[in-house]
Structure 1
Amino acid sequence: MFSSRTKAGTKPQGSQRPEDERLPAVQNIGFGLQHVLTMYGGIIAPPLIIGTAAGLGEAEIGVLIASCLFVGGLATILQTVGVPFFGSQLPLVQGVSFAGVATMISILEGGGSISTVFGAVIAASVIGLVITPIFSRIIRFFPPVVAGTVITTIGLTLMPVAAGWTMGGNASSPSYGSVQNLGLAGITLVLVVIFSKIGVAAISRLSILLAMIGGTIIAAVTGMADFSKVLEGPIFAFPKPFAFGPPDFQAAAILSMVIVILVTLTETSADIIAVGAIVGTKTDAKRVGDGLRADMVSSAISPLFNSFTQSAFAQNVGLVAITGVKSRFVVTAGGGILVVLGLLPVLGRFVAAIPTPVLGGAGIVLFGTVAASGIRTLSTVEYEGNMNLVIVAAALGFGMFPIVAPNIYDQFPSWFVTIFHSGISSSAIMAIVLNLLFNHLKIRGNKPRSVMAEASSRRISSAMLGELQEGDYVQDGKLFDAKSKHVPSAD
């Protein structure tokens, strides 16, 4: 199937998609582990928060965490390998979505149990699966002006996550924001830069993983990492189906969870578009639909194994961008590692012992790379004689509101908060609506123009202006002095 090999692995031929590249098994595992470490903190946080809100004990919360790792691994394998009608076949890591955490807590605070949450997830996900064809057709409304804005917003939205990790992860800890935590994150960041600069491809591509290993070693030597509890608890445990009892289906809980599913569909669509742009592959309506169906069927089945709604992890999109490893099979290996972590809680406890400042140091580069990829996409957009600049400005600003002011929508109805509390969905909705209004809704005799776009995009450096002398003039693209003598360019 593949005819040429390089140090990085087997390159696909020109007729093959970039994401179909196959790497040696060792590199697959290494890059896959890198993906797992990048999203590990994010995938264990929701079950920890929801389990605590449900009043579960430590052992029960441990069951939730192991179950979420197991299901996230299976969902990742489905998304990357793909079967007919299910799976985008893109390097997307799946895991428990943060979008539903607030709603699940509301269900619990409203008198529901963890079984009520599971019932709402099952029913809402089935509804999401039914309406997926509608969402899959919005791909034509994601031109570069929309896709670039959403990708940029994804990166900026993740920055608070990196900041929280850098400070220590637990805001109630006395060491939160300490010089030691920031220093450890800074060292990890420096290691990422150093390993990225090394000319050996195998090292530069594994820069994030190697930096995390180096940061963890330093943390262990300085007493900032504690691995003493790794061996506490079972070594092997298969997730028990319906460990918390059969699901409880309540109409109000289901309705509130449907809104979460709509947000999840929006965010996953954005992530599919984003990773497709980064990989440089075609993402049409069919591919988006296959990815969304994988999302929904994984979410519908996950409560069977005590897990919650599944969605693509935006932080791993940044890892694809910074490493340049576009192979979906690398992420498949990461999904396999997640499954193993779900079956071997001891390994999960080991990975969980990695200090969050180490994750934060790596996250700065990862999430910044996502934003930079979006900016690069926006640089290809035509801004002259249209309203594209207004679309980008308004969508970015609207998407940043819930990030810079998390309580901005506290006085709004809960359904509104669920949708717009996410900077990604806020930005995506605004960009899509404005793009429809200005670029698709045609009014005869009306060509909308932005005053902001009227300014000339041409720029002359101050250094160049300083070199000009009295009497200089330009003719036929060449510079001449006052005596009509040609002034050669510095090039």
Structure 2
Amino acid sequence: MSATASSSIRPEDAKLGWRANIAYGFQHVLTMYGGIIAPPLVMGQAAGMSQADLGMLVACSLFMGGLATLLQTLGIPFFGSRLPLVQGVSFSGIATMLAIQGDGGIQAVMGAVIVSSLIGILLVPLFAMVLRFFPPVVTGTVITSIGLSLMPVAAGWAMGPDAKDPAFGSPGNVGLAAATVVIIIVLTKLGTPSIARLSVLLSLGIGTILAVFLGAADFSGVADGPVFALPTPFAFGLPTFDVASILSMMIVILVTFTETTADILAVSEVVGTKTDAKRIADGLRADMVASAVSPVFNSFTQSAFAQNVGLVAITGVKSRFVVATGGVILIGLGVLPVLGRVIAAVPTPVLGGVGIFLFGSVAASGIATLAKVDYRNNLNLMIVAGSLGVGLLPLMHPGFYAGFPDWFSVIFNSAISSTTLTAVVLNIVFNHWVRRSKNDGRSEFAAAAEHPKAEKSEE
């Protein structure tokens, strides 16, 4: 009878004991730690925050990531997939939030996140209908644009903290970023598998130690502020609400829907458990309610972390209670703002070196998705080319939409927003609107690539 009972237990419901939960849960925290602190660092640096405020922003993001992880893993009725998914601030919204912050400040970002997330909760039941407009050719293009749009941030970090500083872009700053890159490469290549998985986090520490010896690190602000503190609601002011900003964030919400759905399906396959439309909807609602509450505690949109899905596959530890323990650890780190101030004191050139790999890995994930797309006898290549071309215009020339109305520029100045809109529209036009014959529906670029000899003979 006990054997029957144990065989009926789903893999994700296995209980390993508190010692194993703490050990494996801490490993999950370490794996995603670099990713979860990067978005608040990007936003805080762009807003010109002090070290104390930046530390608080990081701590709040850890705190909210922990709460969101508990909701996703343990779940309540209608909220939470009850799968081993770690939650944190989503990369997909950074470019859009930076554009909103540049116009209306961080208060406008918070307002846009709250409203768009609440609307997102209402849209969850309809997402199954929209999902068919987000095939791999669209999601791969969008994810690639996310990584590419963040590379200027990494470049700015590598050059230094202040563009007005005479040392900005100096060989010393860029050299420190390059040294951090080399450290990541060495740890990944020569380290043990566990060290290789933590290469980004370890490189932050080693790069910072190197900066201390070079006199390029300043930890004088670490002691400013409390060691322990609960997040203060709306510490940066009450949110403001702008229609264009909210519409822009709605695109991010759709991208978050797509990413989380993919992560739920991926972790379900790894764990070996069943996933249906209801479970996906519960997971998406957990994302949205966490994202709606997140700005109250000075954080941003929440979504599942794909790198932790890989960790589940590597370790074979499938219990959701392990990840829930990781969520408790995140909450503990979030009420220790002193740790946030230590992280905020990491020299920006070191962050720049890490950012090159961190943001580059996002683009690489998109490219990997695009590699699975079928480009034969269709116009998928045109979708990728047109979407990336249009999406990267404001990135290559920031004043491209300067003469357009504010509502338009807020949406299209973001590479992620403009890429997503263009990719969805082109996918509808080329793959849904009009059905062509196989020969008529091919891209000329693809045809030329497939038949170079035929083209040569025609000459």
TM-score bracket, shorter-length normalisation: 0.7 to 0.9
Q: Match of 2:450, SS?
A: coil
Deviation at 1:325, TM superposition (A): 5.9
1:410-464 per-residue CA deviation (whole Å, 9 max, x = no partner) reads: 222222222222212222222222122112224476842221121243799xxxx
Q: Which runs of 5 or more structure 2 residues have no equivalent in the other structure?
A: 1-9, 454-459
Whether 1:200 and 2:168 are equivalent positions in the alignment is: no
Alpha-carbon contact 1:385-1:449 (below 8 Å) kept:
yes
Percent of matched pairs sharing the same residue: 45
Alpha-carbon distance in structure 2 between the residues aligned to 1:454 and 1:160: 34
Q: Which runs of 5 or more structure 1 residues have no equivalent in the other structure?
A: 1-14, 461-491
User: Which position in structure 2 is the counterpart of 1:449?
Assistant: 442
User: Which position in structure 1 is the counterpart of 2:301?
Assistant: 310
1:7-49 per-residue CA deviation (whole Å, 9 max, x = no partner) reads: xxxxxxxx968xx999874454245235223342421453576
Whether 1:266 and 2:251 are equivalent positions in the alignment is: no
Deviation at 1:287, TM superposition (A): 6.0
Deviation at 1:319, TM superposition (A): 8.5
Alpha-carbon contact 1:121-1:299 (below 8 Å) kept:
yes
User: Which position in structure 2 is the counterpart of 1:489?
Assistant: none
Q: Match of 1:36, SS?
A: helix
Q: Give the aligned residue type for 1:86.
A: F
User: Which position in structure 2 is the counterpart of 1:32?
Assistant: 29
Q: Match of 1:455, SS?
A: helix
User: Which position in structure 2 is the counterpart of 1:75?
Assistant: 68
**Are residues 280 and 177 of structure 1, via their aligned partners in 2, closer, same or farther at CA, if it must alter by over 3 Å?**
farther
User: Which position in structure 1 is the counterpart of 2:457?
Assistant: none
User: Which position in structure 2 is the counterpart of 1:93?
Assistant: 88
Whether 1:155 and 2:147 are equivalent positions in the alignment is: yes
Choose the corresponding residue for 1:43, options 29, 40, 45: 40
Matched pairs, number: 428
Whether 1:352 and 2:347 are equivalent positions in the alignment is: no
Whether 1:411 and 2:406 are equivalent positions in the alignment is: no
- Which of 337-346 and 229-238 deviates more? 337-346
User: Which position in structure 2 is the counterpart of 1:255?
Assistant: 243
Alpha-carbon contact 1:170-1:176 (below 8 Å) kept:
yes
Q: Give matches, 1:426-441, under 5 Å.
A: 426-441=418-433
**Are residues 263 and 79 of structure 1, via their aligned partners in 2, closer, same or farther at CA, if it must alter by over 3 Å?**
farther
Q: Which structure dedicates a bigger proportion of its chain to helix?
A: 2
**Are residues 333 and 198 of structure 1, via their aligned partners in 2, closer, same or farther at CA, if it must alter by over 3 Å?**
farther
Q: Give the aligned residue type for 1:414.
A: D
User: Which position in structure 2 is the counterpart of 1:4?
Assistant: none
Alpha-carbon distance in structure 2 between the residues aligned to 1:212 and 1:300: 31
**Are residues 356 and 83 of structure 1, via their aligned partners in 2, closer, same or farther at CA, if it must alter by over 3 Å?**
farther
Alpha-carbon distance in structure 1 between the residues aligned to 2:290 and 2:78: 13
Q: Give the aligned residue type for 1:293.
A: R
Deviation at 1:387, TM superposition (A): 0.8
**Are residues 341 and 356 of structure 1, via their aligned partners in 2, closer, same or farther at CA, if it must alter by over 3 Å?**
farther
- Choose between structure 1 and 2 for higher RCO, CA contacts under 8 A separated by at least 6 residues: 2
Give the greater-gyration-radius structure (CA): 1
Q: Give the aligned residue type for 1:454.
A: A
Choose the corresponding residue for 1:131, options 123, 129, 132: 123
Deviation at 1:280, TM superposition (A): 8.8
Deviation at 1:192, TM superposition (A): 1.0
Deviation at 1:143, TM superposition (A): 2.3
Alpha-carbon distance in structure 2 between the residues aligned to 1:165 and 1:322: 29
Deviation at 1:186, TM superposition (A): 1.1
Deviation at 1:244, TM superposition (A): 7.5
Alpha-carbon distance in structure 1 between the residues aligned to 2:132 and 2:310: 23
User: Which position in structure 2 is the counterpart of 1:363?
Assistant: 355
Deviation at 1:262, TM superposition (A): 0.8
Whether 1:400 and 2:392 are equivalent positions in the alignment is: yes
TM-score (norm 2): 0.77
Alpha-carbon contact 1:43-1:69 (below 8 Å) kept:
no
User: Which position in structure 2 is the counterpart of 1:471?
Assistant: none
Alpha-carbon distance in structure 2 between the residues aligned to 1:360 and 1:325: 28
